[in-house]
């Protein structure tokens, strides 16, 4: 689709569990969707359908077997399926942000540095990166006394907010969000919703998984399932 920031075509992904006798699990069997700048497309399938698998496959965390996953990166459409690791890393650094369901923590890094890291990877100078990280933490209502601590001792909700902060601080053109407001109280949910709206306003293309109907209503411009096809 012309103009799309993210264009997935017939993506197929299965798992072959060699450790369990070679059983094969076909999870995605030909998904096609596109997301344009300013859109927020939300997937509404029930649990276990493969929504997270789709996001991870687009991000390059999972290896798709066939199909294409085109992202607009540095003015070109780049296919993440079969892309060289170096290219995937570059796309992740500058173009594609992914909020996963879990925050993977390195135990001894302070929270503000965790959030500043993506900015540093983009070449932002250290003190500016830290300042922007702290501003984002403040927006997500993480109290200042926690900024110098590692998130490893935080509650689930606090870790989730650090996860969100880490991705939104870098202002990626394309965002993949996997349940960004799960385990958050209403005030924090509001903050995340506002971040998503802001991202859309600056032209980001958002693909998300949101179970909460109210949040979905507040952020989605389009709701669809994995199996839906789109008009050409």
Partner 1 sequence: MNATVDDRPLLSVRGLGKHYGGRMGCRDVGFDLWSGEVLGIVGESGSGKTTVLNCLSGRVAADAGQVGYTKADGSVVDMRRLDESARRRLLRTEWGVVHQHARDGLRMGVTAGANVGERLMALGARHYGRVRGRALDWLARVEIAESRIDDLPETFSGGMLQRLQIARNLVTEPRLVLMDEPTGGLDVSVQARLLDLLRGLVDDLGLSAVIVTHDLAVARLLANRLLVMRGGEVVESGLTDQVLDDPQHPYAQLLVSSVLQP
Q: Which residues bind partner 1 (CB under 8 A)?
A: 15-19, 56, 60-63, 85-90, 93, 106-109, 120-123
Q: How far is the CB of 23 from partner 1 (least distance, A)?
A: 12
Q: How far is the CB of 24 from partner 1 (least distance, A)?
A: 12
Query: Taking CA 40 as the corner, what is the angle to CA 188 and CA 165, rounded to the nearest 5 degrees?
Result: 35
Q: How far is the CB of 80 from partner 1 (least distance, A)?
A: 11
Q: How far is the CB of 215 from partner 1 (least distance, A)?
A: 27
Q: What is the DSSP letter of 45?
A: P
- H helix or E strand, kind and range, residue 168: helix 156-168
Nearer to partner 1, 78 or 146 (CB): 78
What are the two backbone dihedrals, phi and then psi, of residue 178, each rounded to the nearest 5 degrees? -110, 100
Instruction: Report the C-alpha dihedral over residues 97, 101, 107, 109, rounded to 10 degrees.
Output: 30
Nearer to partner 1, 76 or 201 (CB): 76
Strands (E), 18-58: 23-35, 40-43
Token pair, residue 207, equals 């693909």
Q: How far is the CB of 25 from partner 1 (least distance, A)?
A: 12
Nearer to partner 1, 39 or 179 (CB): 179
Nearer to partner 1, 19 or 232 (CB): 19
Nearer to partner 1, 90 or 138 (CB): 90
Q: How buried is 97 (Cβ within 10 angstroms: 0-12 exposed, 13-18 middle, 19+ buried)?
A: buried
Token pair, residue 201, equals 């306003």
- H helix or E strand, kind and range, residue 13: strand 6-17
Nearer to partner 1, 22 or 143 (CB): 22
* Nearest C-alpha neighbor of 99 from the set 60, 155, 55: 55
* Nearest C-alpha neighbor of 217 from the set 201, 195, 193, 198: 193
Q: How far is the CB of 22 from partner 1 (least distance, A)?
A: 8
Q: How far is the CB of 143 from partner 1 (least distance, A)?
A: 25
Token pair, residue 96, equals 């594609």
Nearer to partner 1, 102 or 202 (CB): 102
């Amino acid at each position: 689709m012309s103009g799309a920031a993210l264009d997935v075509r017939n993506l197929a992904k299965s798992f072959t569990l060699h450790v369990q006798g070679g059983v094969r699990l076909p999870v995605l069997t030909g998904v096609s969707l596109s997301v344009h700048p300013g859109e927020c497309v939300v997937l509404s399938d029930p649990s276990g359908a493969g929504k997270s698998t789709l996001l991870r496959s687009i991000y390059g965390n999972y290896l798709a077997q066939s199909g294409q996953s085109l992202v607009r990166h540095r003015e070109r459409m780049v296919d993440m399926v079969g892309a060289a690791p170096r290219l995937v890393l570059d796309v992740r650094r500058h173009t594609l942000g992914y909020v996963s369901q879990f925050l993977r923590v390195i135990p001894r890094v302070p929270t503000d540095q965790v959030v500043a890291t993506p900015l540093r990877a983009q070449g932002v100078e250290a003190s500016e990166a830290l300042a922007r990280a702290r501003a984002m933490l403040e927006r997500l209502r993480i109290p200042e006394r926690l900024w110098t601590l590692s998130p490893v001792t935080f509650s689930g909700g606090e870790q989730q907010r650090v996860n969100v902060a880490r991705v939104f601080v870098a202002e990626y053109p394309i965002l993949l969000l996997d349940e960004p407001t799960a385990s958050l109280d209403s005030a924090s949910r509001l903050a995340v919703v506002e971040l998503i709206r802001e991202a859309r306003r600056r032209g980001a293309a958002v693909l998300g998984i949101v179970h909460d109907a109210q949040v979905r209503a507040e952020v989605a411009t389009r709701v669809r399932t994995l199996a839906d096809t789109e008009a050409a």
